[in-house]
Structure 1
Amino acid sequence: MTNRTADSGRGAHGWRGSRLGRVYHHRTTRSDRGAALIEAAIILPVLMVFLLGIIEFGLVYATGATATGASRTGARLAVATFGPNKAAVTGSVQGPADLVADQVSGDLTALTSAVPIGMVIYKANSSGAPTGGFPSSTASMSGGCTADCMRYTWNTSTKKFTPSGGPGWNLSTNDVCLPASTASVGVWVLIRHSYLTKLIGQYNFVEGRTVMRLEPLPGDQC
């Protein structure tokens, strides 16, 4: 009876209760853990790259939004100050343009991982571009902007845009009298965005621009 009881107990617990079963179970557990570690070693780097890519894209998008917002701020001021007095023979744009540059500079002080390069204030053609096209999206901002345009570059000491030449712009040439008011002003801003992880490069140039129609002059000034 005793032997039958022992055999019956062993059968109830099965072979896993034996020494061989315990050894097999231990080896299986170690094998499962090793497989899990290998899977984690493969998947985690992919997930990290994916996550860092999302972060990089978000930072670039934020820089672009800041550039566009700053250009919009400048354009709003420009449309209110670039209208000429028709009684005057000529009108210089330098003073109003400097005010616009100061406003844009103020909007760019909140940039992170990015540095402004320069900006252009210009008389926009029918496609919203300056005469001669936009400057190159490089640190030199070469080319483009051959008429009715003011160039500015970023001063890292003063944290402001300073005049850097350009063909100039005679305000008296602007058509801002109703009903034929068609003159428009554009503000183009260039920023160098530095990548956080450097996985896809060191930096990239981000642009922002806004074009608005100049505010019409009162009838007694036309």
Structure 2
Amino acid sequence: MRKIIAISVTVGAVMAVAPVAYANTHTAGGGSATCNADWYVNPDEAALKPKQLPQGLLFDGPSLIHHKSGAYTLKNVPTNGAFAAHVYAGARPLFKMETSNPYSTINKSATGKWWSSKIAASEPGGQSDPVDSPADLIGKFTYTEATTVASFGVGYGNDTGNKALVAAVSFGGHVYRLTCRPKHHPKPTPTPTDTGTPSPTPSTSTSPGEAPAPTPVNSDLPVTG
């Protein structure tokens, strides 16, 4: 099972993200239509997929989510990853990045430092002795200058008792909003009759069972690791 890294984010304007098809399990489904279809879990992580709510993704216990990243190496990957979350119980999730060559998860600590899932906790680059940037992992374990970052995301590890709602994630200057409101389909306007009866206008009321509009993301949320 893959681990994930968590970050806190100050959320401002939100960018629209076009759905992308991956050979993985995505968050979209049911009345959520294509909400957050570009966020996914790997095939062996289906049980870890967070629940999509109108206000964001609910991480309850061991859970995580990924988003494909650009062509970054450990030297040039953005280090400003963060997320906006409301914690219901336990600790905050972590901001995470997955790497290729070697495969690993790199986590961002609460102090903004980085540690690898492949390095022993007590060694430099491990959880108890994190480094200042992902580039500082080069030369440790089997990380090299050719190591690439495959994805970024948010999640908890194997600890239970943690629960948080993540409303948005920030990475590389982009803010990805995770709220979701099922699409509303107005009733079609009936064809006017020749009796002179005016045509009704499309309904703008909320259909029974439809989720209310999501709560706006607080733009003043603190940035933490």
TM-score normalized by structure 2?
Answer: 0.24
Structure having greater relative contact order (Cα 8 Å, sep ≥ 6) = 2
Structure with the larger helix share: 1
Task: Determine which structure has more spread, i.e. the larger CA radius of gyration.
Answer: 1
Structure with the larger strand share: 2
